[in-house]
Amino acid sequence: MKIEQIKVFVSCPGRNFVTVKVITDEGVYGLGDATVNGREMAVVAYLEEHVVPCLINRDPHQIEDIWQYLYKGVYWRRGPITMAAIAAIDMALWDIKGKVAGLPVYQLLGGKSREGITAYGHANGETMTETLDNLGKFIEQGFKAVRLQCAIPGLGGTYGTLGDKKDYFELQSDRPLPPEQPWSTSKYMNFIPELFKQARERYGYEIQLVHDVHSRLTPIESAHLGKLLEPFNLMFLEDASAADNQDGYQIIRNHTTTPLAIGEIFNTVWDAKDLIVNQTIDYLRTAITHGGGITPMKKMADFAAMYNVRMAPHGAPDLSPICHAAHAHFNLWAPNFGVQEFIGFGTAKLNSVFSHPLSFDNGYIHLEDKPGLGVEYNEEEGLKHAYKRSYLPVTRLEDGTLWYW
Ligand code: EZ4
Ligand code: CO
């Protein structure tokens, strides 16, 4: 079997997605997700100009060798654009192998370690009451874990809240230039512990709770927040601080027993190596699309397991349904799976372009048994939704200093 053609599609059914289709001389094809939110066309150029020509006529079954060729074989290793491009090819090759074998990808990884995939939903709101009412709705739907994000009083536009937008799946397509949002660490610190206090008073301690700091705090500030949140038993605090310097997490760890999760912007195991071996984190949140594919994620999971770190792949709506399906296969297999972030299955427009094998019931994601990843990309529908330049917001402190979004 040979790789005959590789197509790269960009479509915007509410937000931009980059999709790769690897087609073989025997007609079998595989699909992969290469979306990097706000930098989509950089991955397209990387794939079309620098990856696709090298893969024509290669054997698609040589997944490991092709991964090594695209990673180790290239002097300019790592980085989000490179690794998303490699990831999409890798996903597509696992999809092909599964289709040829007549087996779902989780079977190729080693089979199921569990029946259902525990998912956490997003309860958010403009006020504390709205956020807590939404938490109640998630509990009623059977969710076992929920992320809480609330607009911070006195700040216009807080990460994780929708403002006047309809939903996550339409959030980004109308941002042709980066919008700006203000940030105040003191306003945030004075508010968030009260949100979790009231959540526990209203709903008790059975529901597991998560919060995403989105890297807005320094290590000592997040250590302080972690301590303030200890009475409210979080499942984890996400992106408590940026980890460009992995040593910073030791400061957080030294001061709080609130579990820590990080990794959605990591693109190789090297971004997390010190965090793992020093046991300064509890969950690794790298996505298959941004971490170089299924091949390295399996290695990362086994490495993390040696240090009691569990996998909790990023599940944002800017990952395409192909990545969400790949996560489901991975999560069914990974012995050290923790939890999957889950924001629903999107809009009718999104589902006209992508179909996926996932369903949700009583707090768990389930995967229909189909060969490969079990996803389809409708090329004709995709063409109806042209790419729109779009950006994530930029954050400034109230005095104008640029900060982490
Ligand atoms: O901000 O995916 O946990 N989820 C997140 C996301 C990220 C976006 C960035 O593209 O932090 O909402
Ligand atoms: Co996050």
CB-based contact 272:299 (threshold 8 Å): no
C-alpha dist (Å) from residue 4 to 33, 62, 122, 230, 370: 19, 15, 42, 55, 24
Q: What are 104-130's pLDDT values in tens digits? A: 999 999 999 999 999 999 999 999 999
Is 37's C-beta closer than 6 angstroms to any atom of ligand 1?
yes
Residue 392 in domain = no
The type of residue at 142 is G
Residues 338 and 203 both lie in one domain: yes
Share of the chain above pLDDT 70, in %: 99
pLDDT of 251 higher than 80: yes
Residues 147 and 246 both lie in one domain: yes
Q: What is the mean pLDDT of residues 371-389?
A: 97
Residues 334 and 218 both lie in one domain: yes
Global model pTM greater than 0.85: yes
Atom of ligand 1 nearest to the CA of 214: 11
Task: Count CA within 13 A, CB hemisphere, residue 240.
Answer: 33
Per-residue buried b or exposed e for 12-24, using 16+ beta carbons within 10 Å of the residue's own CB: bbbbbbbbbbbbb
Helix ranges (DSSP H) in 230-270: 248-255
Residue 322 in domain = yes
Measured in Å, residue 103 CA sits from the centre of ligand 1 at 32
Q: What is the mean pLDDT of residues 359-386?
A: 98
Residue 24 in domain = yes
Q: What is the mean pLDDT of residues 182-190?
A: 97
In which domain, by residue range, is 91 found?
A: 3-103
How confident is the prediction for the chain on average, in pLDDT? 97
Specify the residue with its C-alpha closest to ligand 1, atom 10: 37
Distance, in Å, from the CA atom of 241 to the CA atom of 135, rounded to the nearest integer, reads 25
C-alpha dist (Å) from residue 329 to 57, 181, 344, 368: 28, 37, 17, 10
Is 390's C-beta closer than 6 angstroms to any atom of ligand 1?
no
What integer pLDDT is reported at residue 19 of this predicted model? 99
Q: What is the mean pLDDT of residues 211-227?
A: 98
Domain boundary among 37, 71, 103: 103
Residues 112 and 99 both lie in one domain: no
CB-based contact 358:346 (threshold 8 Å): no
Specify the residue with its C-alpha closest to ligand 1, atom 2: 316
Q: pLDDT grade, residue 162 (50/70/90)?
A: confident
Residues 186 and 39 both lie in one domain: no
What integer pLDDT is reported at residue 90 of this predicted model? 99
Residues 303 and 341 both lie in one domain: yes
Q: What are 19-51's pLDDT values in tens digits? A: 999 999 999 999 999 999 999 999 999 999 999
Residues 60 and 115 both lie in one domain: no
Residue 395 in domain = no
Q: pLDDT grade, residue 165 (50/70/90)?
A: confident
Residues 95 and 224 both lie in one domain: no
Q: pLDDT grade, residue 131 (50/70/90)?
A: very high
Is 122's C-beta closer than 6 angstroms to any atom of ligand 1?
no
Residue 257 in domain = yes
Residues 227 and 151 both lie in one domain: yes
Domain count, the chain: 2
Q: Which of 205, 198, 214 is nearest to 133 (CA)?
A: 198
Q: Indicate which residues carry an active-site annotation.
A: 159, 214
Residue 246 in domain = yes
Is 40's C-beta closer than 6 angstroms to any atom of ligand 1?
no
Atom of ligand 1 nearest to the CA of 405: 1
pLDDT of 172 higher than 90: no
Residue 231 in domain = yes
Q: pLDDT grade, residue 164 (50/70/90)?
A: confident
CATH number at residue 215: 3.20.20.120
Measured in Å, residue 366 CA sits from the centre of ligand 2 at 23
Measured in Å, residue 40 CA sits from the centre of ligand 2 at 19
Residue 343 in domain = yes
Residues 356 and 259 both lie in one domain: yes
CATH number at residue 84: 3.30.390.10
Q: What is the mean pLDDT of residues 199-207?
A: 98
Atom of ligand 1 nearest to the CA of 317: 2
What integer pLDDT is reported at residue 206 of this predicted model? 98
Residues 203 and 295 both lie in one domain: yes
Residues 354 and 333 both lie in one domain: yes
